[in-house]
Amino acid sequence: MQKMIVEGGRTLNGKVRISGAKNSAVALLPAAILADSQVTIEGLPNISDVDTLGGLLEEIGGDVSWGPDQTVHINPANMISMPLPNGKVKKLRASYYFMGAMLGKFNKAVIGLPGGCFLGPRPIDQHIKGFEALGAEVTNEQGAIYLRANELRGARIYLDVVSVGATINIMLAAVKAKGKTIIENAAKEPEIIDVATLLTNMGAKIKGVGTDVIRIEGVPSLHGCRHTIIPDRIEAGTYAIAAAAAGNEVVIDNVIPQHLESILAKLREMGVTIEDSDEQLLIAPRNPLKSVDIKTLVYPGFPTDLQQPFTTLMTKAHNTGIITDTIYSARLKHIDELRRMNAIIKVEGGSVIVSGPTQLEGARVKASDLRAGAALVIAGLMANGITEITGLDHIDRGYENMTEKLNSLGAKVWREDMSEEEIIQYQNS
């Protein structure tokens, strides 16, 4: 087990290249199950969630091979509807996409309830509502979801909650169902468009992605194809925040600036100079930062996944800013750790109130979920002295080569093995 050490106070400069989108990757890989021949996906991020899902595809008989530049070839010809009640499915949230994809392909699936970051309750009732509307019988037997259907038939499904996962999962189950499926109140995230693009390249008939009504005309079979993943807007946003917090001039390369409008708007409101071109952003925090208020919303609103890193940045801003996460109100595990580093933060009702500016001080802190980890790394860059961060398995689930990328910008960040005593302390904390 390792910890990350960040020596604070360095100024970031230079260029960082953004990897493929984690939250696309984790749906594109299971989507390949639906094809009858080889699917090739280019530019996947080198993160542990991708490794875990690749392993799950192999467990059900998929032939998974890797080429250069993070390209994966998945041959689903010998896949079977193998039950996956335990094991790797518990390691991440997105294993729930095996439900939609295996149901769509085999009319049956057994998948353990997913794991992933603790962000408060994360029900999957809308996924199940969709599968049932398509004609599946869904039961929960000792923590595993059993899905069975004689035949899937298209249906009109209204989502009570706008959900990324439910929208994608229902698309996966519906693309081969008989007849027409309409998903109303669908989520509009770019990752949903990316998954629909892959499915369309495989021969699916999908209209309306990117709006809140998605129409799917079922087709009897899907074939292999080649697909290039979109860049990770959350990784890009994380580096944009790091640049605003500790940078002089940082170029963020391989981005789709339109995917980042809400976050760039908030950074500009704080006083950060930003230039955007087709595939790059230049972040230059020229002025003292001003506090802003943030409310997380579904896309294209401010993303919940950047709320925690943004909270860190706000400790540097003048006056008081209020951050409200309307998607995951309990996504607050970074707060106590930031307080350990001298941040002045109050939690009142459902909101986080950050007062600044405060000079953060290095400390020993624990990442207890993926984006809390990113928030603490940024805090380490801003802090006086040394910050030691444990819980790196969370960070490794979603950020490719974070240490190397930050060092290439002039940060001083490294990883060290933890002593036995430190591991015991970490496990008990």
Q: Judged by CB under 6 A, does residue 238 bind ligand EPU? A: no
Helix 307-314 and helix 370-382, axial crossing angle in degrees, nearest 10 = 20
CB under 6 A: which stretch of 11-19, 114-122, 310-318, 415-423 binds ligand EPU?
Answer: 114-122
> Which CB sits closer to ligand EPU, 196 or 289?
196
Q: List Cα–Cα distances, 38 to 62, 63, 215, 254, 330, in angstroms.
A: 10, 9, 26, 27, 41
Given the residues 41, 50, 117, 195, select the one marked as catalytic. 117
What's the CA gap between 195 and 214, in Å, rounded? 13
Residue closer to ligand EPU, measured from CB, 166 or 267: 166
What CA–CA distance (Å, rounded) separates 111 from 146?
A: 7
Check if 225 is active-site. Answer: no
Q: Does 19 bind ligand EPU (CB under 6 A)?
A: no
23, 234 in Cβ contact below 8 A? Answer: yes
Among 103, 110, 145, 327, binds ligand EPU (CB under 6 A): 327
Distances (CA, A) of 378 to 177, 256, 261, 404: 46, 22, 21, 14
Task: Find the binder of ligand EPU among 14, 67, 123, 288 (CB under 6 A).
Answer: 123
Q: Give dist(CA 5, CA 386) in Å, integer.
A: 7
370 touches ligand EPU by CB under 6 A: yes
**Does position 332 bind ligand EPU by CB under 6 A?**
no
> Taking CB under 6 A as the rule, does residue 242 contact ligand EPU?
no
Q: Is 253 annotated as a binding residue?
A: no
Residue nearest ligand EPU, Cβ-based: 165
As a whole number of Å, the end-to-end CA separation of the chain is 15
Question: For the chain, how many residues are written?
Answer: 429
Q: Are 157 and 184 in contact (CB under 8 A)?
A: yes
- Which tokens is 117 given? 């970051």
What is the smallest separation between the CB atom of 424 and ligand EPU, expressed in angstroms? 28
Candidates 166, 225, 251, 377: give the one binding ligand EPU (CB under 6 A). Answer: 166
Out of 91, 127, 333, 366, the residue judged to bind ligand EPU by CB under 6 A? 127
Residue 323 as a binder of ligand EPU (CB under 6 A): the answer is no
Is 330 a binding residue for ligand EPU by CB under 6 A? The answer is no
Does the annotation flag 126 for ligand binding? yes
Which residue lies nearer to ligand EPU by CB, 341 or 372? 372
- Residue 184 engages ligand EPU in binding (rule: CB under 6 A): no
To the question of whether residue 412 is assigned a binding role by annotation, the answer is no
Residues within window 73-102 making contact with ligand EPU, judged by CB under 6 A: 93-94
Please state at what angle helix 233-246 crosses helix 370-382, rounded to 10 degrees: 20
Q: What gap in Å lies between CA 269 and CA 290, rounded to an integer?
A: 8
Contact flag: residue 244 with ligand EPU (CB under 6 A): no
| Separation CA 10–CA 132 (nearest Å) | 54
260: its two tokens = 């980042």
Residue 247's beta-bridge partner residues?
12
Q: What is the DSSP-derived secondary structure letter of residue 165?
A: H
In the complex, the residues that contact ligand EPU under the rule CB under 6 A are: 23, 26, 93-94, 117, 121-127, 161, 163-166, 187, 234, 304-305, 327-328, 370-371, 398
Point out the residues that are catalytic: 117
Q: What residues are designated binding site? A: 22-23, 93, 122-126, 305, 327
Q: What residues are designated binding site for phosphoenolpyruvate? A: 22-23
